[in-house]
Structure 1
Amino acid sequence: MPDSQRIIPVNIEDQMKSAYIDYSMSVIVSRALPDVRDGLKPVHRRVLFGMDELSLSFRSAHKKSARIVGEVLGKYHPHGDSSVYDTMVRMAQDWSLRYPLVDGQGNFGSMDGDSPAAMRYTEARLQRISDEILGDLDKDTVDFQLNFDDTLKEPTVLPTKIPNLLVNGASGIAVGMATNMMPHNLTEVVDGIIATVDKPEITIDELMQFIKAPDFPTGGIIYGVDGVREAFHTGRGRVVLRGRAEIKVDDNDRESIIISEIPFQVNKAVLVAKIAELANEGKITGISDVRDESDRDGLRIVIEIKRDAMASIVLSYLYKYTPLQTSYGVNNVALVGGRPMTLNLKDMVEEFITFRLEVIQRRTRYELNKALARAHILIGLLVALDYLDEVIALIRASSTPDDAREGLMNGDFIDDKDAFWAKFKDLVEEAQTEELVVLPGKVLSEQQARAILEMRLQKLTGLELDKIREEYAEIRELIDSLRAILESETLQRNIVKEELTEVKQRYGDERRSEISLDTADISITDMIPDEDVVVTISKLGYIKRTPVDEYRTQTRGGRGSRGSKTRNEDFVEHLFIASNHNYLLLFTEQGRCHWLRIYEIPEASKQSAGRVIQNILALPKEDKIRAYISVADLTDEEFLNEHSIIFATKKGVVKKTSLEAYSRPRSNGINAITINDGDQLIEARLTNGSSHVFLATRKGQAIHFEESTVRNMGRTAAGVRGITLNGEDDEVVGMVTLDHELDADKTILVVSEQGMGKRSDWSEYRITNRGGKGVRTMQVTDKTGMLVSLKAVSDDDDLMITNRSGIVIRMSMDNLRVMGRSTQGVRLIKLEKKDAIADVAVVRIEEDEEGEEE
């Protein structure tokens, strides 16, 4: 035939499709996916089988890893040596497997990702639990297949008593599919399997009462059970795991975070490096030092916290930005009958029970055949002993062993065969199998005849004869028992439970991973107490928060107590009360808006200067905070749409914009209002649409107009005129917004530079048109000084007055009576020479707070 005709044309698409499918199935079945029965991939199974062939049980001495790898490579696994060694190493790491299967000796790596020593340096043997996986392998419990060169046989699956797929999990990437199965606690899994054996119709929710959640070798805390429940029900889900961290306070009141457990498969060294990197880059503030103090006694990572930071907040950011909190996508894909399937929890339990029943049946059948074979031989011996003299005579008269064997099989030693069959017929028939059979016309089988010929002379003693009869009686009981097991599924299921109970008693332990019912997406606010704090911002931009109870209530006219320590020429410019959980909208004098949660502000004592706000916000050095709004929630659409923000500038301009425009925080802030040259933002207030607006100027004028006279504008609008100023040196010092229903008890408070102040009913300020000059609110003189503040107060409020030297006095408003608008007012605070009032803030009186005078 010409060579040209030997070429067979093939469609390249068909060829590529066929080749790729073959490759895919090879990867799926022979490499990447575990078998649902023993939970092992081929390489794991071959390593364990190879070590078993080398007799490396937990009772034996360790053997060089290179010897083990060579055994597995040469006989069963024709791939690279690194694949075999890496597999064996992982099975020896107690941080990789919940129940390690290999007992390693030497350097087998670390949680820091260190590589193990070369295989020529390390040694290994099987763990005791591996005996439960390899046990009964020699009892025909599983099928064997030829190895890669058809010279040896290897098991297709191991007859494990351990539900290895559930307790150790598995992960792998095949072609077009992957598996990621979580480890579980052996005690819980065994209890769940036993419950399923007792009640096959058990539901997954009922099964979860026993198997509660995954249990990781490195411990940690599982947050939320919704993802676990979904994984148990569908085979796919999400498990969120956090490292275990504890906040400790030393003798110097310095907080530190101690991490004693990290999530499964997280590299400890990478975690420590990530924390240090985020601290150096400023993405997580408040960390002064990170140390890895782990030793042979356990894992310990120490994170020292700065004095002005809260450890709970730092820990929350660690959970958010580092692998200290990790989520695992559960994908329970395993080979069932050689085909990949996605399995829920009950599927895996039922498949294991089915496999155990099959192993028990095959083992029982093997043991029954072995018992029948022995009984068959014993019956032959009993026949020979019953005709002992005749058998001896027959053997002595035979010229060759073959003649003697034939004579024994034919029964030539029996005179009366009818009497023989009457006595031994039932015994002969009882112990026959397909392999051990007495042929028609024969008395004994070939095996029985050989056993008689091979019997030692010492068996002819009376004691040995009794032993044979006792052995036969025992083996009869064993045969009856084994047959009863094969005929009864109930007995087989009881054996499954008994063996699992033994496994649980021998290897079961307590859970390592704690289960928390809280959601995994727990917010930082859940870790911060919802308490009111005093927030202060100095003129040079230092910000802090302080517990309210650090400030003492004093009577009007006292000299006050030292508040913030400020730098030279610095003083507290803003002081207000807010809850830790509130959102703080910060507005700068250049019209920018920034967001901050109150708990993100560094906590400090009343005497502390605080921290530069530029280090917290993306704020230019030339800009500074001029106004604030505290909002409980920026996600409530109804609240956002019903409220607006009114702005006021130093030059008397006002603008109103919907709160919704400021509800989407950005790290670098946004433009809140366009500020004209020479102007500055001085105030921003939250309104509900029916508010009244009050503006006061430095020269003692005040205007009162309704909010409705200012139309809503966009974020970048400049606004409209709110009040007409009296000259170039005049400016607006404050804005107040009041509502008839909500603020009926409020009064208008004005304070001058020299410590004078008064309260007036806001009805005394007549409503005028927006943009007018307003009415006089205080007679400005050298004694009073210029107006510095306009506030709305009630009898239930306290007043905090801060002067330029940092002195703070707190006084109750019920000590200051309401006066007419035209009066001069009274002295609120005594000032030292060349001192002046810098800021005034309104504080809600605490119910349990008592007055105190210094």
Structure 2
Amino acid sequence: MAEETIENPPIHLPAKEMMESSFLDYSLSVITDRALPDARDGLKPVHRRILYAMHDLGIMPGSAHKKSARVVGDVIGKYHPHGDTAAYGAAVRMAQEWAMRHPLIDGQGNFGSIDGDNAAAMRYTEMRLSKMGAKLFTDIGKNTVDFKDNFDGTEKEPSVLPLTYPNLWVNGSEGIAVGMATSIPPHNLAETANAFLAWLDHPEISTRELVEHMPGPDFPTGGILHGLDGYIQALDTGRGAIKLRSRWHTEDRSRGAKRLVITEIPYALNKSKLVEQIADLVKEKTVEGVADMRDESNKKGIRIVLDTKAGVEPDLVAIQLVALTNLEVSVSYNVMALVGQTPVQLGIRDVFEHFRAHRIEVIQRRTQYDLDRALDRLHILEGYLAALDRLDETIAAIRASQNTEDARAALIGLLGIDETQSQAILDLKLQRLTGMQIQDIRDEHDSLTAKVEDLRDILAKPERQVTLMRDELLNLCDQHATERSTEIDNSLSKVSAADLIPEEQVLLIGTQNGYIKRLPADAMNRQNRGTKGRSIIALDDDDLVTTFHTGNSHDYLLALTDSGQVHAVKVYDVPDTGMGNRGRHYRNIFEGLEGDVVAMLSAADLDSESASLVIFTANGLIKRTAIGRFSNATRKGGVQGISLSEDDRIICARISHDAATEEAVIVADNSKAIRFPLEEARAIGRTGQGVRGLKMKDGEKVIAGGIVRHDDLPHTALMVVTEKGLGKATPIADFRLQARAGQGVTAHAPNQRSGNMTAATLLFQGQDVVIFNASGGANRIAGDDVPRNGRATAGSSIIKNGSVRNAVAVPASPDADPSE
């Protein structure tokens, strides 16, 4: 039996290939047909189709408004086969004065509000092209742009509009495609024109010079711009960000009280949500000093009023609101537009170049169209003149002809003209043969001849095309340019939450169970040595304090985990939870943190070229790495800072500012300490283990490490504290300088009363010391009160309550009363 054959077997595509192909088609459709504007006219297809439908319906600035439903019906029926809600929404936005720098549609009725209220249904509202919208279609009937078939081939629509000004930059655009987006703020028409013409005259013009003509975006809702470095970057690359702040002023009330009045808010911000946001902060007492708040906005403008309490400055309330609300926002530039059918990131020169090329093409095509029409008319006039020169013979030839065909042929033979000219002569009315009418024909011929020469000259000379482009742009500006609405104030500081937090020395405390808290360094008053100390952190029964650090509130806080990872946040990101409680868990502060935090320290910045992170381990290793290697430590999960062997752990970490002028000090629980030049620990990468700093016997461990500058040697002591609360300070100069990896020298002579040495710290001039015990208690002692003893002594009583776990030096407190 012969095998059955199948002539056309079915094609089976793997699901993966089918999904990839379908998604790619969908992505391209969204990018080219919906989300991104054309680089030439700055319009998305839906906007272009809405405006063209209105133009096609003849709804021009001088005509009556037509129902919006009529316009939307034409749009979705002829050009845009999508939902009527989306089409109407796009039309509404083009009519909103707070959304468009130059509205392209003149709406009549309820077109929404800046509070986010929706427009009335399209059956209730009416619209027509605004004067600016009508300018988009100048000369569209002169073959200035290409037309293409609509979605079903029954209509024609323009692929681009022949506009006179760079609408992409003037009105801006917003859109989200698949895998990309566009965000172009609006700009002032006159400033944009000046910048464009300056670039046209000098293509090599610098960005700074362009900024002199066009200093920043111009939003219809006003506001105040600052932080314009991102704007300059956006002009160059198409990407950047600026700050836009609300405008406010203060007014006097009765009895010396004042009020804060907000009159302009950032572009595209929902006013009612902003008012609600401010009201919540006032209600929750996050922003204090506000007695009353109300929204007095009306058709004349925005007016959000906050009555402040007596003695409260409204500007201080405003600065708080800037940091905590959208009273100030960041406005992004992502200038993505279609060039052909390809999405391209554009700088300002690219925007200008695409507009220039488009406008020159429009002028050329318009000129060619006018030339063709002029030549056609001139051709007819030349036929007229030929007939007028032999008028009697022409009339006789026509009278002698039996029909139109004979007359046409007779005129061609008599006058040497073509068929088109002969037909025009036959169509000529007898009234045109009066003397005055004949002169009009001769005058029209002379005028048209001059016009043809001028049009040919325009086509032949690019410089004349540029002059026309320039003149038409300036003429448009004369008619439609407006004053700048958005003020530029480069003197404004960049206000953020950080600006509301004072720079101060703080104490950071971490526990074994993963809790961290921040306190001002002077939150603890000094106490007499030998007292019980004071509880500053609440600990569970199974918890104990493991890490301590002091730093500036605006520094970066670096946290090292037991696995050697390094995480970074701003110190002020750690909440100040006050005395007594346990604070916040590490994982609420450091994103992606795993394991336990074993060391903390601060750095002024993570970009220093000379600073290093120095890590000390329990096995006596020291590792030095350039701080710049940790610039990504702020990201989720941090970065690796050291590789640890299974039997080793991190004891502490310090910041070195210049290893050539510093020395390292390492202290072990065997009562030995070593001091050596920090340069001997050469800088290595983040993943290294480090080098030997102190040689110890099995079972002995490092309890402290530190760095001292050469200039500080005469004023620095090594303070050691024993398990039973005895302590002393020994001048660091008493510890002779050794080579790295030595056994060190005696730092403490333990006895039965003192117990073993459990804590140590370098004590610099002008510092206090805080002693921590296992139960969470702490005792702050003036550095000058710590007894000075030699290396081979046990020390005196420092703290009595509980076994000592650690000691940390802090800046000296101004409070010198030891009785508190």
Is the counterpart of residue 301 in structure 1 residue 357 in structure 2? no
Is the counterpart of residue 268 in structure 1 residue 271 in structure 2? yes
1:148-167 alignment runs, 5 A limit: 148-167=151-170
- Equivalent in the alignment of 1:142: 145
Is the counterpart of residue 242 in structure 1 residue 275 in structure 2? no
1:823-842 alignment runs, 5 A limit: none
- Equivalent in the alignment of 1:110: 113
CA distance in 2 between counterparts of 1:661 and 1:174 reads: 35
Displacement after TM superposition at 1:283 (Å): 2.9
Displacement after TM superposition at 1:60 (Å): 1.0
Quickly say closer, same or farther: Cα 1:216–1:583, change in 2 above 3 A.
farther
Is the counterpart of residue 506 in structure 1 residue 562 in structure 2? no
1:416-815 alignment runs, 5 A limit: 443-518=416-491, 521-522=494-495, 595=519, 633-635=552-554, 665-669=574-578, 711-712=760-761, 716-717=772-773, 770-771=796-797
Quickly say closer, same or farther: Cα 1:122–1:672, change in 2 above 3 A.
closer
Displacement after TM superposition at 1:371 (Å): 0.7
- Equivalent in the alignment of 2:99: 96
Displacement after TM superposition at 1:31 (Å): 1.0
Quickly say closer, same or farther: Cα 1:459–1:190, change in 2 above 3 A.
same
CA distance in 2 between counterparts of 1:11 and 1:135 reads: 50
The residue identity in structure 2 corresponding to 1:281 is E
1:261-410 alignment runs, 5 A limit: 261-307=264-310, 309-410=312-413
CA distance in 2 between counterparts of 1:294 and 1:661 reads: 39
Quickly say closer, same or farther: Cα 1:278–1:597, change in 2 above 3 A.
farther
Quickly say closer, same or farther: Cα 1:508–1:719, change in 2 above 3 A.
same
CA distance in 1 between counterparts of 2:555 and 2:75 reads: 64
Paired residues of 1:33 and 1:334 also in contact (CA < 8 A): yes
CA distance in 2 between counterparts of 1:367 and 1:637 reads: 69
CA distance in 1 between counterparts of 2:207 and 2:180 reads: 25
Quickly say closer, same or farther: Cα 1:141–1:405, change in 2 above 3 A.
same
Paired residues of 2:555 and 2:570 also in contact (CA < 8 A): no
SS in structure 1 at match of 2:101 = coil
- From 69, 73, 76, give the equivalent of 2:76: 73
The residue identity in structure 2 corresponding to 1:304 is D
Paired residues of 1:219 and 1:514 also in contact (CA < 8 A): yes
SS in structure 2 at match of 1:290 = strand
Quickly say closer, same or farther: Cα 1:36–1:492, change in 2 above 3 A.
same
Is the counterpart of residue 84 in structure 1 residue 117 in structure 2? no
Displacement after TM superposition at 1:463 (Å): 0.4
Deviations 1:232-257 (CA, angstroms, capped at 9, x unpaired): 11111112211112233424222322
CA distance in 2 between counterparts of 1:285 and 1:82 reads: 44
- Equivalent in the alignment of 2:566: none
Quickly say closer, same or farther: Cα 1:73–1:661, change in 2 above 3 A.
closer
CA distance in 1 between counterparts of 2:503 and 2:176 reads: 44
Paired residues of 2:93 and 2:99 also in contact (CA < 8 A): yes
SS in structure 2 at match of 1:472 = helix
The residue identity in structure 2 corresponding to 1:165 is L
Paired residues of 1:691 and 1:738 also in contact (CA < 8 A): no
CA distance in 1 between counterparts of 2:570 and 2:379 reads: 94
CA distance in 2 between counterparts of 1:715 and 1:393 reads: 128
Quickly say closer, same or farther: Cα 1:526–1:663, change in 2 above 3 A.
closer
- From 196, 201, 213, give the equivalent of 1:198: 201
Quickly say closer, same or farther: Cα 1:4–1:593, change in 2 above 3 A.
closer
Displacement after TM superposition at 1:398 (Å): 1.0
Quickly say closer, same or farther: Cα 1:134–1:706, change in 2 above 3 A.
same
CA distance in 2 between counterparts of 1:632 and 1:502 reads: 62
Quickly say closer, same or farther: Cα 1:306–1:632, change in 2 above 3 A.
farther
Displacement after TM superposition at 1:285 (Å): 2.9
Quickly say closer, same or farther: Cα 1:72–1:792, change in 2 above 3 A.
closer
Quickly say closer, same or farther: Cα 1:255–1:49, change in 2 above 3 A.
same
- From 124, 130, 134, give the equivalent of 1:121: 124
Displacement after TM superposition at 1:217 (Å): 1.3
Could you tell me the TM-score, scaled by structure 1's length?
A: 0.63
- From 7, 10, 13, give the equivalent of 1:11: 13
Deviations 1:680-710 (CA, angstroms, capped at 9, x unpaired): xxxxxxxx99699xxxxxxxxxxx9979799
Quickly say closer, same or farther: Cα 1:105–1:662, change in 2 above 3 A.
closer
Structure index of larger Rg: 1
Displacement after TM superposition at 1:392 (Å): 0.8
Paired residues of 1:673 and 1:715 also in contact (CA < 8 A): no
Displacement after TM superposition at 1:524 (Å): 6.9
Deviations 1:310-329 (CA, angstroms, capped at 9, x unpaired): 43333223122212121122
Quickly say closer, same or farther: Cα 1:737–1:120, change in 2 above 3 A.
same
Displacement after TM superposition at 1:192 (Å): 0.8
Quickly say closer, same or farther: Cα 1:664–1:202, change in 2 above 3 A.
closer
CA distance in 1 between counterparts of 2:349 and 2:571 reads: 50
The residue identity in structure 2 corresponding to 1:328 is V
Displacement after TM superposition at 1:378 (Å): 0.5
Displacement after TM superposition at 1:193 (Å): 1.0
CA distance in 2 between counterparts of 1:662 and 1:215 reads: 37
The residue identity in structure 2 corresponding to 1:717 is N
CA distance in 1 between counterparts of 2:443 and 2:537 reads: 93
Paired residues of 1:43 and 1:77 also in contact (CA < 8 A): yes
Quickly say closer, same or farther: Cα 1:125–1:597, change in 2 above 3 A.
farther
- Equivalent in the alignment of 1:851: none
Displacement after TM superposition at 1:396 (Å): 1.0
CA distance in 2 between counterparts of 1:160 and 1:673 reads: 66
Paired residues of 2:537 and 2:579 also in contact (CA < 8 A): no
Quickly say closer, same or farther: Cα 1:3–1:277, change in 2 above 3 A.
farther
CA distance in 2 between counterparts of 1:158 and 1:244 reads: 37
Displacement after TM superposition at 1:218 (Å): 0.9
Q: Percent identity?
A: 42
Paired residues of 1:673 and 1:718 also in contact (CA < 8 A): no
Displacement after TM superposition at 1:523 (Å): 5.1
Quickly say closer, same or farther: Cα 1:291–1:661, change in 2 above 3 A.
closer
Deviations 1:166-220 (CA, angstroms, capped at 9, x unpaired): 0111111112211111111111100011112212232333222212211111111
CA distance in 1 between counterparts of 2:553 and 2:252 reads: 34
Quickly say closer, same or farther: Cα 1:770–1:102, change in 2 above 3 A.
same
Q: Which runs of 5+ in 2 are unaligned?
A: 510-515, 523-535, 539-549, 558-568, 584-711, 718-726, 732-747, 749-758, 762-768, 787-793, 800-813
Quickly say closer, same or farther: Cα 1:594–1:9, change in 2 above 3 A.
closer
SS in structure 1 at match of 2:494 = coil
Quickly say closer, same or farther: Cα 1:148–1:673, change in 2 above 3 A.
closer
- Equivalent in the alignment of 1:215: 218
CA distance in 1 between counterparts of 2:401 and 2:572 reads: 111
